[in-house]
Structure 1
Amino acid sequence: MNKNLTPRINLIKQDGREVEREKLAILRVLASCQTPLGSKIIARRLKNEYGIELSERAVRYHLIMLDDRGMTCKISRRDGRSITQLGLEELENALVTDKVGFVIDKIERLAYLTDFNLDTLSGMVPVNISFFAKEQFKPALRAMAQAYKANLCVSELVCIAHEGDKIADISVPAGQVAFATVCSIVINGTLLKAGIPMDSRFGGTLQFHQNKPRRFTDMIYYTGSSLDPSEIFIASRMTSVSEVARRGEGKVLCNFREIPAASLPLAEKIIAKLKNAGINGVLVVGEAGKSVCEMPSGLNKVGMIMMGGLNPVAAAVENDIPAASQAMSGLIPYSSFKNYWEAAGLKKPA
């Protein structure tokens, strides 16, 4: 083979790999939404969620290729495309190197994009979005009340969207109601803006005993998973949020993170400000180099345990109310939130 052709062949291989990754990212965007999407929204979400900058024209080109391969289907010129079963299978069989670490990448990206200002109480806040059938939404809200009463949540701030509305660039399907909860990544993002890096280690189920956090019983490391741990634990019925709220015994969704020990004084001030803003996601703050709930921290690191934003939704699922949840769905303005008790039309217990 002509040696002069080798660099060109390698470049073609690299370009081909990048094209495949772009197509996989488009499939992921479509798979995360229950309604068809057009090229404009897909291009925006590719940039915001995956750091991939493609023009609308380039997205349309990729979609035509995906249509030809049977992985997407065109609903209409106005509504855009949906992913097909073949497309979902392609995501399942994607290259391991493109799947592993997907969750940690999403955490870091959302943390960077979070621009919530603690002084002006404005800016974008990361959310989890859960979809409920319209007729089951009121029972779901009632089932979630115990979790909110017991503070088994990141925040009492929520956002509700109805069919036909959009929330975080996601259209709410017919017959569904979208329920957005504050994602604990808001803490990552706020600390990051203050110059404090946070290492997100894993998500898990934390055992409570006599109303006190005891130890992690299940965990999934973010760096080795392409699926969000909270979604897995809820779908597998591995939580007992309602029991913790009622009796102080059971398992809730939590995650473990670390910050540099030297940053702890500043971090504590920021956490206090977050609490004043209605964001109370930090459950336990450890000490430098010491274990937190039987979980060791690194040298010169401080371990933190955060509440999972989907705990209230887990409580609803435990009460046999189905929900389709998408953790770390995107960002919405802080001004869009309402207090859960007001939004649910319920009186907050004293």
Structure 2
Amino acid sequence: MTDPQIERKLIEIMRIISESDRPIGARAIADELHNRGYNLGERAVRYHLRILDERGFTHKHGYNGRTITSRGAEELEEALIGDRLDFVITHIEDLIYKVDYNPETGKGNVIVNISYVDKNDFDDAIDIIEKASKVSISPKIALFDEDSPLIHVPAGKVGIATVCSITFDGVLLRNRIPVKPAFGGILEMNDWKPDRFSDLISYSGTSIDPIKIFLIRQPTSVLDVLEKGSGRILANMRTIPVSAAERAQGVLESLAKSEVGGMFEIGGENGNVYGAPVDTDMSGVVVAVGVNSIAAVGEAGIPVNTDPVSTIMKYEDLFLP
């Protein structure tokens, strides 16, 4: 088996070759590798290129350089999927560490989702978001125009920030409670009470945020929940040590008093919470997600695009619509 460090360099060389619109030589590859933080000389690059040629991943065009083959493109795509699997959970963990929201003062950094709607649909979308706040994390939002210096907003759109439920993980961590995002899923509701998860995706096993996947599939019925108390909403689960469950309950109750709520259950003594598996000696914390209000907008037929777990904002900069 090839050394993992060599494999990483081979993948990066393939990536450089695939990004070129013409055959590229060893010297140019070595220069670009240097720009990307790899200390690999031209001679070493030639050695790696011979390995790629032998595997059929690259094709040599005489002195002009190499291009990637169809087999190499397939191999690169699989490698990039592996990178993206790491990226999703790494990105989430990075934002979790930046949360410093204090429920007693109502101030500090929270994680937000960013959604985009057409300006012509904005008024209708805001009406729905306001009504759906009871199945979301917080009733507060922030708005961004096309000229916003904070985030890129496409022409003709309005950006809408909603509080993300991963904020809970950050608050738990700041209270010295180890926490790990576990699943995102569809939670069945009956008579305003959670029943069971009908679908789950692990945060550590997908190259796309699980909540974004469900938003694209549109399997929710948030509007039915708002009208009848029964239907399907988005929720996620994180795990904490059983020994920290009582303390976590107090922390999450203080969050709810500060308008950051949506927590359903802390448990898992029987091995699951609402059907979501929980490891031995761990408790699962199930929370409704902040984009349930956005899911309701989509259910109403209003086109909306969302980037869950997008960035950090000061909670005091958000407001009631």
TM-score (norm 2): 0.75
Q: In the alignment, what sits opposite 1:195?
A: 176
Letter in 2 for 1:251: R
Alpha carbons 1:162, 1:172 under 8 Å: kept: yes
Matches within 5 A, 1:211-222: 211-222=192-203
Q: In the alignment, what sits opposite 2:165?
A: 184
Partner Cα separation in structure 1 for residue 189 and residue 4 of structure 2: 54
Q: In the alignment, what sits opposite 2:149?
A: 166
Q: CA deviation at 1:121?
A: 3.1
Q: In the alignment, what sits opposite 1:245?
A: 226
Q: Which residue of the other structure, out of 81, 85, 92, is the alignment partner of 1:107?
A: 92
Are positions 1:95 and 2:116 aligned together? no
CA shift in 2, pair 1:266/1:21, >3 Å: farther
Partner Cα separation in structure 1 for residue 100 and residue 15 of structure 2: 28
Partner Cα separation in structure 2 for residue 134 and residue 306 of structure 1: 31
CA shift in 2, pair 1:91/1:142, >3 Å: farther
Are positions 1:274 and 2:267 aligned together? no
Q: Find the residue that maps to 2:280 and give its secondary structure.
A: coil
Matches within 5 A, 1:196-235: 196-235=177-216
Alpha carbons 1:146, 1:242 under 8 Å: kept: no
Letter in 1 for 2:222: V
Q: In the alignment, what sits opposite 2:29?
A: none
Q: Which residue of the other structure, out of 116, 126, 137, is the alignment partner of 2:122?
A: 137
Alpha carbons 2:14, 2:76 under 8 Å: kept: no
List 4+ stretches of structure 1 deviating above 4 A. Answer: 9-22, 89-94
Partner Cα separation in structure 1 for residue 119 and residue 184 of structure 2: 30
Please list every run of 5 or more consecutive structure 1 residues that lacks an aligned counterpart in the other structure: 1-8, 23-57, 60-88, 344-350
Alpha carbons 1:159, 1:180 under 8 Å: kept: yes
Q: Which residue of the other structure, out of 122, 127, 146, is the alignment partner of 2:112?
A: 127
CA shift in 2, pair 1:99/1:155, >3 Å: same
Partner Cα separation in structure 2 for residue 278 and residue 323 of structure 1: 25
Are positions 1:153 and 2:144 aligned together? no
Please list every run of 5 or more consecutive structure 2 residues that lacks an aligned counterpart in the other structure: 17-34, 37-73
Q: CA deviation at 1:277?
A: 1.9
Partner Cα separation in structure 2 for residue 91 and residue 250 of structure 1: 41
Question: How many residues are matched?
Answer: 268
Partner Cα separation in structure 2 for residue 101 and residue 260 of structure 1: 23
Q: Find the residue that maps to 2:136 and give its secondary structure.
A: coil
Partner Cα separation in structure 1 for residue 152 and residue 259 of structure 2: 27
Q: CA deviation at 1:217?
A: 0.8
Partner Cα separation in structure 2 for residue 266 and residue 287 of structure 1: 16
Are positions 1:336 and 2:321 aligned together? no
Q: CA deviation at 1:256?
A: 1.6
Partner Cα separation in structure 2 for residue 220 and residue 194 of structure 1: 27
Partner Cα separation in structure 1 for residue 83 and residue 261 of structure 2: 34
CA shift in 2, pair 1:320/1:300, >3 Å: same
Q: CA deviation at 1:289?
A: 4.8
Are positions 1:262 and 2:247 aligned together? no
TM-score (norm 1): 0.69
Alpha carbons 1:102, 1:227 under 8 Å: kept: no
Q: CA deviation at 1:211?
A: 1.8
Q: Find the residue that maps to 2:310 and give its secondary structure.
A: strand
Q: Find the residue that maps to 1:283 and give its secondary structure.
A: strand
Alpha carbons 1:208, 1:214 under 8 Å: kept: yes
| Cα RMSD after superposing both structures | 3.0
Partner Cα separation in structure 2 for residue 117 and residue 99 of structure 1: 32
Alpha carbons 1:101, 1:222 under 8 Å: kept: no
Deviations 1:305-349 (A, max 9, x none): 11111100000000000001001111011221112xxx2xxxxxx
Partner Cα separation in structure 1 for residue 196 and residue 318 of structure 2: 32
Partner Cα separation in structure 2 for residue 164 and residue 333 of structure 1: 20
Q: CA deviation at 1:116?
A: 1.7
